[in-house]
C-alpha cells in the first residue's frame, strides 16, 4: 500500500484492490478499517494503533474464515505470531488458481 498516510483520524478503506498484504497501511487508524474483497491471507501490516471499538471489514479474503471465528484482531495476530497455521501452504495454490487476471 505504497503512498498510504501514516495516520488516519477516521475510517480507512483499502477494499477491492486485490491486496495480498496490509504492509504499508497507516500505523494509526481512528475509525473503522475496511479491507474486504482482497486476497489477504494474514493480518501482517495491520495498524498497531487501532480503535478496537470500531469495525474491521475483511470479508471476501481467505483470512476471513479465521477472523470470523474470533472477531477480534488480537486472536488473529496471535495465530500469525505463533505460526499455528501456515497460510502460505494452505492458501498459496488456492490464490494462484483463483487469482483474477
Q: Is 2 within 8 Å of 22 (Cβ atoms)? A: no
Alpha helices (H) along 13-86: 64-70, 73-82
Number of H helices, E strands in the chain: 3, 6
Q: Collapsing DSSP states into helix, strand and coil, what is residue 57?
A: strand
pLDDT at 86: 55
pTM (2 d.p.): 0.75
pLDDT tens column, 18-54: 999 999 999 999 999 999 999 998 888 899 888 888 8
Amino acid at each position: 500500500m505504497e503512498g498510504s498516510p501514516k495516520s488516519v483520524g477516521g475510517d480507512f478503506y483499502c477494499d477491492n484492490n486485490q491486496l495480498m498484504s496490509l504492509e504499508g497501511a497507516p500505523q494509526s487508524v481512528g475509525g473503522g478499517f475496511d479491507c474486504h474483497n482482497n486476497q489477504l491471507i494474514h493480518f501482517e501490516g495491520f495498524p498497531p494503533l487501532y480503535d478496537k471499538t470500531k469495525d474491521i471489514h475483511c470479508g471476501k479474503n481467505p483470512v476471513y474464515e479465521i477472523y470470523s471465528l474470533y472477531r477480534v484482531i488480537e486472536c488473529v495476530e496471535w495465530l500469525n505470531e505463533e505460526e499455528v497455521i501456515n497460510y502460505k501452504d494452505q492458501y498459496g495454490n488456492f490464490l494462484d488458481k483463483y487469482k483474477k487476471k
